[in-house]
């Protein structure tokens, strides 16, 4: 907060203060065309100067955000498909980048729903597949399972229904590094986006038939 206040004061000082102070008092009392042009030139000059000064500060604070927040990719989905809602600029060669968090949650919901259909329908089996321990990625799989099970108040070997996926995704996003940047409303909106697809509705119907689960997305 102190940094934001400082930046605001710096901007006002350079653009609104010094820039206008170069115009003399006499010129302010008797404005003419040349004075107006000079004022516009000075303000523009200082405006660009401030932008150049603030650019590295903005980049610094942007890079301080967790990767899944920067990429609007709450679950850190790796590059794998042409997802709806992807950013045009591909700045991360490893992880997907989305226009909004909702599109990131949409992709996560579709993937996790596929897990459920295949019978990977507990926190333990879901996360063991999502972040397997036997790789060179140094995944803390058991800690991941314990964290999410505790947050969702469900035993790690109990059944996870499609209706529970939005809450599950939110807690996964925190463990993935978001530290509270995302909300349950965004996760629910992402799941709702996925629900608009016919293939998702078909998958839900198959899960309902095979598992005995019955209920809407938010049940």
Q: Looking at the predicted structure, is the pLDDT value of residue 67 above 80?
A: yes
Interatomic CA distance for residues 37 and 33, integer angstroms = 6
Torsion angles phi and psi, residue 78, rounded to 5: -80, 160
Other Cβ atoms less than 10 A from the Cβ of 48: the count is 10
CA angle 42, 45, 49 (to 5 degrees): 135
Interatomic CA distance for residues 176 and 74, integer angstroms = 7
Q: Stretch 63-81: mean pLDDT, rounded?
A: 91
Long-range pairs, 191-199, Cβ under 8 A, ≥24: 191/105, 191/106, 191/109, 191/165, 191/166, 191/217, 192/217, 193/84, 193/85, 193/102, 193/103, 193/105, 193/106, 194/106, 194/109, 194/110, 194/113, 197/110
For 96-120, write each residue's pLDDT tens digit.
Answer: 999 999 999 999 999 999 999 999 9
Interatomic CA distance for residues 82 and 110, integer angstroms = 13
Q: Looking at the predicted structure, is the pLDDT value of residue 82 above 90?
A: yes
98 forms beta bridges with 86
pTM above 0.75, yes or no: no
Q: Stretch 153-180: mean pLDDT, rounded?
A: 96
pLDDT attached to residue 52: 60
């Amino acid at each position: 907060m102190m940094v934001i206040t400082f930046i605001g004061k710096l901007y006002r000082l350079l653009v609104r203060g010094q820039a206008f102070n170069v115009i003399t008092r006499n010129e302010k009392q008797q404005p003419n065309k040349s004075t107006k042009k000079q004022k516009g030139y000075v303000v523009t000059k200082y405006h660009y100067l401030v932008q150049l000064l603030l650019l590295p500060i903005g980049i610094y604070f942007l890079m301080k955000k967790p990767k899944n927040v920067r990429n609007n990719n709450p679950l850190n989905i790796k590059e794998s498909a042409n997802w709806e809602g992807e950013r045009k600029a591909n700045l991360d060669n490893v992880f997907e980048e989305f226009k909004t968090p909702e599109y990131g949650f949409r992709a996560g919901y579709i993937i996790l729903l596929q897990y459920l259909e295949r019978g990977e329908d507990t926190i333990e089996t879901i996360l063991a597949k999502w972040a397997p321990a036997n790789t060179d990625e140094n995944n803390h799989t058991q800690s991941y399972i314990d964290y999410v099970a505790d947050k969702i108040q469900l035993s790690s070997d109990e059944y996870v229904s499609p209706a529970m996926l939005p809450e599950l995704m939110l807690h996964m996003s925190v463990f993935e590094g978001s530290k509270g940047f995302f909300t349950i409303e965004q996760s629910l909106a992402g799941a709702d986006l996925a629900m608009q697809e016919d293939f998702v509705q078909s998958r839900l119907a198959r899960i309902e038939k095979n598992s005995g689960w019955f209920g809407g997305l938010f049940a």
